[in-house]
């Protein structure tokens, strides 16, 4: 018989040592590996492109790169740090980050985050009400896009194919061009 695992809370999460990269998912704390240079380049490019698009269209959404804390269901057991979060409801923004589901989340896969991003976070984001979820996979040079509002199967795009955002249909990106 195995012993029950300790259930961690928001208090435990916020009392982690300064600088510790971790997420609280279903009451468990998961350490996060440091990101690669390519990972950070993609985060910077997406943040710039989305932010510029919002600014040029006088939009009310805000874009936040990691580390940015998101309490997905505003409860005590899920705090994640998506690579990119776009929040269009200013009422969801708090001093600690976002309380509730962002409208768009982008995760850039790392070898250590593959299972977490494809399976665990995918279910969390869908259940929490995230409208659109991108999984950008530099190793496979593909992007898998879930548009949860449409209740359809995800679509997979190679890096060299232009892709539009469901949240911002007029915004089109070709990920291979972001890496030049």
- Which residue, among 115, 110, 120, has the nearest Cα to 140 in the 3D structure? 110
Closest CA to 72 of 13, 115, 21: 13
What does the pLDDT look like over 107-154, one tens digit per residue? 999 888 888 889 889 999 999 999 999 999 999 999 999 999 887 889
Q: Which two tokens stand for residue 68?
A: 């940015």
Q: Per-residue pLDDT tens for 26-75?
A: 889 999 988 999 999 999 999 999 999 999 998 899 999 999 999 987 67
Asked whether residue 3 carries a pLDDT value surpassing 60, the answer given is: no
pLDDT value of residue 179: 86
What is the spatial distance between Cα 25 and Cα 178, in angstroms, rounded to a whole number? 31
Q: How far apart are alpha carbons 145 and 164 in whole angstroms?
A: 10
**What pTM, to 2 d.p., does this model score?**
0.93
Per DSSP, the three-state class of 99 is strand
What is the reported pLDDT for 177? 94
The span from the CA of 171 to the CA of 94, in Å, is: 27
Confidence class for position 4, pLDDT limits 50, 70, 90: low
159, 144 Cβ separation under 8 angstroms: no
pLDDT tens string 76-114: 788 999 999 999 999 999 999 999 999 999 999 988 888
Whether the predicted pLDDT of 159 surpasses 70 = yes
């Amino acid at each position: 018989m195995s012993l029950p695992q300790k259930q961690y809370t928001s208090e435990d999460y916020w009392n982690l040592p300064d600088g510790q990269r971790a997420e609280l998912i279903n009451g468990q704390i998961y350490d996060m590996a440091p990101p690669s240079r390519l990972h950070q380049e993609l985060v910077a490019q997406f943040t710039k492109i989305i932010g510029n698009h919002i600014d040029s269209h006088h939009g009310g959404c805000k874009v936040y790169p990691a580390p940015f804390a998101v309490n997905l269901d505003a409860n005590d057991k899920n705090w994640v740090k998506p690579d990119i979060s776009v929040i269009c409801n200013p009422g969801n923004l708090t001093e600690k980050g976002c309380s509730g589901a962002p409208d768009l989340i982008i995760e850039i896969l790392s070898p250590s985050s593959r299972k977490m991003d494809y399976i665990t976070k995918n279910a969390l984001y869908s259940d929490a009400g995230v409208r659109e979820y991108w999984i950008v996979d530099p190793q496979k040079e593909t992007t898998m896009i879930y548009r949860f509002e449409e209740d359809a199967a995800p679509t997979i795009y190679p890096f060299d194919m232009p892709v539009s955002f469901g949240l911002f249909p007029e915004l089109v990106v070709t990920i291979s061009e972001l890496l030049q």
